[in-house]
Chains A and B, each alone.
Chain A
Amino acid sequence: MLELKNIYKAFNPGTINEKVALNGLSLKLNEGDFVTIIGGNGAGKSTMLNAIAGVWKVDEGQIIIDGVDVTSKPEHKRAKYLGRVFQDPMMGTAADMEIQENMALAFRRGKARGLGWGINKKEREQYRELLKTLDLGLEDRMTSKVGLLSGGQRQALTLLMATLVKPKLLLLDEHTAALDPKTAAKVLELSDKIIAEYNLTALMVTHNMNDAIKHGNRLIMMHEGRIIYDVSGEEKKNLTIDELLEKFTQSSGEQFANDRALLSSKR
């Protein structure tokens, strides 16, 4: 489904601020894999997702999605295969446009955008039904500007938009990190539901070790731009936070020195 082969990416190369963000990263996903990704700050989690999405070009390596080599394809061409939800709730939706217009934009992901109407009546009904499933009352506010919604509502909408056209791969980049715990739990639950319902292949970055263990069928841990631990199946199900922390110390030779990860694992 997804194959990353020996990816390298350095930011600010040749300067004192040089940072090797991805350092020989390789990963292979099977169809239907729901992978949670953990790691300290600067481990390369979000960078990996951005590399897949094509936000910039990688320095070395190959990215293959569903058998297609997309390494040199620009971001908007890769969008055809990908559904994305960002950490910042503001990033995934167009604030100046209506809820239904945002959905109509997402509905046309991967298709040619011509001079036909940007949204039609039939779609509208379809969107209303889908919005109902969110249980946020958005189905009655379809002509409201998205900028009027709360962060949680926007994130839920983004999630819906990312999966409106079934993506080959869903990229969730700490998509609950900016939300309050209650909303975060709700959005996460929704993610689970959608992924299961459409049998999606998904990558989910999280800082919350509990969530990482609880969700998905596979867990990977990143450190310094590489995957240092990859676990799936029964073994993953039976993981505990303490084991994870220990694994981190073992594999990286460092303490998991990340307050945020530790704190969020306690809640």
Chain B
Amino acid sequence: MNILTSILNSLPGAVAQGLIWGVMAIGLYITYKILNVSDLTVDGSICTGGAVCVMMMINGYSLPVAMLCAFLAGMLCGLATGIFHTAMGIPAILAGILTQLALYSVNLKILGKANQAINADKYGLLVSLRNVKNVPFYKNTILIAIIFVVALVALLYWFFGTAKGCSLRATGSNLSMSRAQGINTKSNTVLGLMISNGMVALSGALLAQYQGYADVSMGRGAIVTGLAAIIIGTAIFGKISKNFAVQLIAVALGGVVYWIVYQVIICLGLDADLLKLLSALVVAVFLAVPYIKSEYFSKPKKRKEGAVNA
């Protein structure tokens, strides 16, 4: 009974955190699913977003300005990876790792030390883990996070329906075709990386406010969490409709499911140290499913007697 109560108690927090990570997962979706690039920059840019937001607020800037700057800082991270990849010919995955490593130093410099706390009482934070229950609904972090997710989905839905957005999708789908149709695939890849990392940094800004601090290692393994959200979300909710907006919402909900499962596992008494191992294994299994299916479980269909070879 005790376990059940503690699970129920931690549920609102898990939902809020899941939605914030959902923002991150939607950002990752742009590179992973649309551009078909595995971008490891996110492990660094999520922290950059948190660091910029926290430090600007501590230094007296208003919340909207701080969050906008966090978004722009994330775009710069994406720009760096984009330049490594397109202008310098470094494979995307390696370009992301390089930026991520570089960002560790950058983030340390922004924060000044490994960890910077921001007091929810002193600063008007948009979201906080204190505001998930027993607060007026309009202050509730869950509601605010939902508004964020919906607004971003609407914005992306619009953008990927524009001529520019379509050319971005084409770039991810078929490079030769895109170039043959006059699309600058390099600049599109850079743009995609910038938008993606901008959103990831924005989620970092929300996350730092939510937990009340920015930490230089807060992004460790972020890509795995994001991928988990994408995989879980599209597997559970993605079947509802192929509509792009539904897919994005599904990804955000995937983040929520991830954090609820996470909380349940913690409440059941699993060693928290093992969670990253578990996340990695879960993502590995899900990523492997299509391959395993085709490699080990697909039997050649028996041709019927006398069937004509079409």
Contacts and interface: CB of A to CB of B under 8 A. Distances in A.
Contacts of B182: 76-77, 79-80, 108-111
A119 interface: yes
Nearest to A78: B182
Number of contact residues on B: which range applies? 20 to 34
Contacts, number: 91
B40 to A, nearest CB: 23
B178 interface: yes
Interface stretch (B117-125, B158-166, B256-264): B158-166
Interface stretch (B17-25, B168-176, B223-231): B168-176
Nearest to A115: B162
A105 B185 CA distance: 13
Given A101-B166, A118-B166, A113 B183 contact: yes
Interface in B153-211: 159, 161-167, 169-170, 172-174, 176-185
A117 B167 contact: no
Interface stretch (A16-24, A36-44, A91-99, A200-208): A91-99
A82 interface: yes
Nearest to A93: B177
Contacts of A74: 184
Contacts of A109: 181-182
A91 B161 contact: no
Given A76-B183, A109-B181, A97 B169 contact: yes
B164 A94 contact: no
A93 B180 contact: no
A230 to B, nearest CB: 27
Contacts of B164: 113-115
Contacts of A113: 163-164, 166-167, 183
A53 interface: yes
A161 interface: yes
Contacts of B185: 76
A94 B178 contact: yes
A106 interface: yes
Given A91-B176, A95-B173, A110-B182, A105 B162 contact: no
Interface in A56-70: none
A172 to B, nearest CB: 12
Contacts of A115: 159, 162-164
A86 interface: yes
B223 to A, nearest CB: 22
A56 B170 CA distance: 20
A90 to B, nearest CB: 8
Given A79-B180, A92-B177, A108 B170 contact: no
A218 interface: no
Interface string A196-220: 0000000000000000000000000
Which has the most chain A C-beta neighbours within 10 Å: B159, B164, B173, B181? B181
A114 B163 contact: yes
Contact of A117 (B161, B172, B173, B180): B161
A84 interface: yes
A82 B179 CA distance: 11
Interface in A206-247: none
Given A76-B179, A79-B181, A161-B181, A116 B173 contact: no
A97 B170 contact: yes
Contacts of A195: none
Nearest to B163: A113
B87 to A, nearest CB: 13
Contact of B163 (A77, A84, A95, A117): A117
14 contacts: A75-B179, A77-B182, A79-B181, A86-B180, A91-B177, A94-B178, A96-B169, A96-B173, A104-B163, A104-B166, A105-B178, A105-B181, A116-B163, A161-B181
Q: Which 9 A-B pairs have the closest CB atoms?
A: A79-B182, A118-B166, A94-B173, A113-B163, A96-B173, A75-B179, A94-B174, A109-B182, A84-B180
Given A90-B174, A94-B178, A113-B167, 18 more contacts: A76-B179, A84-B180, A86-B180, A91-B174, A92-B176, A94-B170, A94-B174, A94-B177, A95-B173, A96-B172, A105-B166, A105-B177, A105-B183, A106-B181, A108-B167, A114-B164, A118-B163, A118-B167
Interface of A: 53, 74-77, 79-80, 82, 84, 86, 90-97, 101, 104-106, 108-111, 113-119, 161-162
